[in-house]
Copies of this chain bind each other. A is one copy, B any other.
């Protein structure tokens, strides 16, 4: 507190590269914070532009406007990308970082369609990859106390990673087994056999039940176990319905497991508002972080 960092003290003597570095890469100074907010708004607007382009009616009404907005944001982000490379003390490190790759991917699609051998309009839509840049929003949260909350969340999930891995393994194995079982039960007539026999017409062969292959049955099993339940594939035979019903109740019971895991993990992290200090008199531990005296013998505690 008494001795500020030299970077702050000699701000006037900073080179323009250092000054821009502070503005672009850090978010502690007012200028840096302002830059981040403006950037976030620009990213949001550019994502909206890509969205509008994908809607047929809007694209036909305002083709020029969208084209110009698209190139405006592309050039803006290109300039930002170049400045970032110039300002970064170690440019290669930035280019290879997650944010660097995302920044590059965000401007590439617009340039790609200029190339003569790549005229597909759909490449244009790849520009939506710049939605990934919205992840920068989390950098601004860094300023507020949201960071600690996000950290608590990340730590709870990280602490529960082994339990979640066990859980996901179990779900995936269940999906494979149930998917295969449903394929056996609900899968239509054996198409290999049927195609050789002349009695089956093409009508029955082209009528898919949605359980025609194991991967499709697994898709159904995932749709069902996660309780999404589109209904594009659903069992029709009594046996299939019975198995599906069992699986739903199983899935219903299973949703409680990971929820309980994370709840307990977070509750534990929350409950630990206890300082590590030990009473010098009675050696009692477990004092609250705001305790001044030992709650058992009344001795004054020495705060660390």
Complex Cα gap A163–B153 (Å): 7
The answer to whether A295 and B293 have CB atoms under 8 Å apart is yes
A184 within 8 A of B: yes
**Closest chain B residue to A272, Cβ basis:** B273
Complex Cα gap A255–B54 (Å): 30
The answer to whether A255 and B255 have CB atoms under 8 Å apart is yes
Pick from A11-19, A31-39, A226-234 the stretch touching chain B: A226-234
Complex Cα gap A191–B125 (Å): 13
A106 within 8 A of B: no
| Min CB–CB distance A283 → chain B (angstroms) | 5
Complex Cα gap A166–B59 (Å): 33
A295: chain B residues at CB < 8 Å are 287-288, 290-295
- Chain A interface SS verdict (over half): helix
The answer to whether B228 and A131 have CB atoms under 8 Å apart is no
Most buried by B among A134, A215, A251, A294: A215
| Min CB–CB distance A49 → chain B (angstroms) | 11
**Closest chain B residue to A254, Cβ basis:** B252
A183-B125, A213-B51, A291-B296 known; A268+B265 contact, CB < 8 A? no
| Min CB–CB distance A263 → chain B (angstroms) | 4
| Min CB–CB distance A229 → chain B (angstroms) | 4
- Which residues of A238-272 have CB atoms within 8 Å of chain B's CB atoms? 238, 241-242, 244-245, 248-249, 251-253, 255-271
Residue from B173, B177, B184 in contact with A122 in the complex, judged by beta carbons closer than 8 Å:
B184
A51-B214, A152-B163, A285-B303 known; A261+B257 contact, CB < 8 A? no
Q: Which 3 A-B pairs have the closest CB atoms?
A: A260-B262, A293-B298, A228-B229
Contact surface of A with B, Cβ cutoff 8 Å: 47, 50-51, 54-56, 59-60, 120-122, 125-126, 128-129, 131-132, 134-135, 137-138, 141, 144-146, 149-150, 152-153, 156-157, 162-169, 171, 173, 176-177, 180, 183-184, 187, 190-193, 212-216, 218-219, 222-232, 234, 238, 241-242, 244-245, 248-249, 251-253, 255-271, 273, 278, 282-300, 303
| 18 A-B interface contacts by CB (under 8 A) | A54-B187, A55-B214, A121-B192, A125-B214, A128-B177, A131-B173, A138-B169, A256-B262, A259-B260, A263-B263, A264-B269, A282-B292, A291-B296, A292-B296, A292-B298, A293-B293, A293-B296, A294-B298
